[in-house]
Amino acid sequence: EAYLGAIEQANGQLNAYITVTADKARAMAAASDARIAKGEAGALEGIPLGIKDLFATEGVHTQAASHILDGFEPMYESTVTANLWADGAVMLGKLNMDEFAMGSSNETSYYGPVINPWRRKGSNLDLVPGGSSGGSAAAVAAHLCAGATATDTGGSIRQPAAFTGTVGIKPTYGRCSRWGTVAFASSLDQAGPIARDVRDAAILLKSMASVDDKDTTSVDRPVPDYEAAVGRSVKGLKIGIPREYRVDGMPEELDAVWQKGVEWLREAGAEIVDVSLPHTKYALPAYYIVAPAEASSNLARYDGVRYGLRENGRDITDMYENTRAAGFGREVKRRIMIGTYVLSAGYYDAYYIQAQKVRTLIKRDFEMVYADGIDALLTPATPSAAFGIGDEDMAADPVKMYLNDIFTVTVNMAGLPGIAVPAGLTGEGTPLGLQLIGRPFDEETLFATASVIE
Ligand code: GLN
């Protein structure tokens, strides 16, 4: 009731929830009470969570914040949310996001932008919460849920976490099932939590992660007790500082926070090592080929027949065109066009195959530093703090918006786990986050190192 009241009070301003499932929340909470009374409480019994609108929730409007999915109520539950409910969690509602998870500011949602609960000192300017999981991050930061699900294809958990002073982890590719998560770029998409602190993130990830027959890329490995890794000693760990992440134009205060992170880990007994990931500079262009290519294929299913919106026409082709023209927003159309272009016969080798080769080189960069005994890498999570809604530079030039993902996309391209953790404030009092990147399936080291920094 406290969370529902908080949503009622603040959501008009923040626009973090698209759908509030108050009745369902009360019914689930009552079922929790009954289990608690019987001594059968699950690991998340009664914990109220917000769910990114990308996760299919049975009988509950699921739109990926797109007009084209208007009215779509899935007949099934995503594996990640089913796992949470099986542990006793309670659903408060569906969280706003960039349309089909494409964006870094939550401004591409059909339901309008999410407002970051943080502001610059003495300023009334509304800031973006980051994207695409902007609703998840804003809701957690503003106490409109105890924790939230999110997804990360190129930074969509870590960048909004950094912009809102919350903790977000993208686990290793294959750690969470993608079944029932609306697909953006299937070889990059991973679910993970956004939470108020490292311990909460660890508890939520344990529940979300599982192998799943319905997703053949999910991995059959036991899910460790991540919570036990929180606060674990980092003595003797080797932490790499990749020199390619010191990019031109990085704000001084961000660099200072990065240095502080280095000192905290050193004081806690970790060894700090300079490392090189030489193909880093190719990651962003390669990502913006691979991700749109996969998206253009995945989004072919929205044809006015199978889901949501239909705009009729003279014949079926006309109906497809009308539906897609009316149903998709500008950014989604841009991605479909880029993706279709790079996959088309004359350009496939020049762009798509080339980007796939670059992807392999990026992955090898990481394999090499890990083979040298590095346990985790420390970088900034984003190149800046949260910017203003409607930022003119970025609105005029989509590539400027894409630059927000410069520190996060490498991790998805290599399938690695990455965590964003709040590490300081700008002079104007807005949050700055650091990122730790780990070895495949070594989320535990991320929880241990992140708990030194938070
Ligand atoms: N901002 C990136 C994009 O727009 C990442 C999105 C994501 O991780 N879902 O593609």
130-188: pLDDT as tens digits: 999 999 999 999 999 999 999 999 999 999 999 999 999 999 999 999 999 999 999 99
Mutation test residue for ligand 1: of 55, 132, 289, the one with most atoms within 8 Å of CB:
132
pLDDT score at 249: 85
Q: Is the CB of 257 under 6 A from ligand 1?
A: no
pLDDT score at 400: 87
ipTM: 0.97
What's the full length of the chain, in residues? 454
Which 3-state string (H, E, C) describes 380-424?
ECCCCCCCECCCHHHHHCHHHHHHHHCCCHHHHHHCCCEEEEEEE
Task: Kindly give the distance from the C-alpha atom of residue 163 to the centroid of ligand 1, in angstroms, as a whole number.
Answer: 15
- When divided into structural domains, the chain yields a total of 1
CB atoms under 10 Å from CB of 208, counted, come to 25
- Domain containing 277: what range? 1-454
pLDDT score at 394: 86
Closest atom of ligand 1 relative to the 335 alpha carbon: 10
**Whole-angstrom distance, CA of residue 126 vs CA of residue 119:** 7
Q: What is the dihedral of CA 332, 64, 148, 141, to 10 degrees?
A: 60
pLDDT score at 396: 84
Q: Is the CB of 88 under 6 A from ligand 1?
A: no
Task: Kindly give the distance from the C-alpha atom of residue 188 to the centroid of ligand 1, in angstroms, as a whole number.
Answer: 10
Q: Is the CB of 192 under 6 A from ligand 1?
A: no
Task: Kindly give the distance from the C-alpha atom of residue 132 to the centroid of ligand 1, in angstroms, as a whole number.
Answer: 6
Q: Are 404 and 376 in contact (CB under 8 A)?
A: no
Q: Is the CB of 261 under 6 A from ligand 1?
A: no
Which residues are catalytic, by number? Answer: 52, 132, 156
Q: Which residue has the tokens 């009552």?
A: 30
Q: Is the CB of 132 under 6 A from ligand 1?
A: yes
Residue nearest to atom 10 of ligand 1 (CA): 102
7: domain CATH number?
A: 3.90.1300.10
Q: Which residue has the tokens 């195959």?
A: 353
Closest atom of ligand 1 relative to the 291 alpha carbon: 10
Nearest to 286 by CA among 366, 380, 361: 361
Closest atom of ligand 1 relative to the 331 alpha carbon: 4
Task: Kindly give the distance from the C-alpha atom of residue 404 to the centroid of ligand 1, in angstroms, as a whole number.
Answer: 9
CB atoms under 10 Å from CB of 205, counted, come to 27
Task: Kindly give the distance from the C-alpha atom of residue 152 to the centroid of ligand 1, in angstroms, as a whole number.
Answer: 7
**Token representation of residue 33:** 């009470």
Query: Angle formed by the axes of helices 283-298 and 354-371, to 10°?
Result: 120
pLDDT means per 10 residues, the chain with 454 residues, are 98 98 98 98 98 98 98 97 98 98 98 98 97 98 98 98 98 98 98 98 98 98 98 98 92 96 98 98 97 98 94 97 98 98 95 98 98 98 96 87 94 98 97 98 98 97
Average pLDDT score, the chain: 97
Task: Kindly give the distance from the C-alpha atom of residue 398 to the centroid of ligand 1, in angstroms, as a whole number.
Answer: 12
Q: Is the dihedral of CA 299, 404, 411, 447 positive or negative?
A: negative
**Whole-angstrom distance, CA of residue 319 vs CA of residue 429:** 50
pLDDT score at 248: 85
Q: Is the CB of 293 under 6 A from ligand 1?
A: no
Residue nearest to atom 5 of ligand 1 (CA): 154
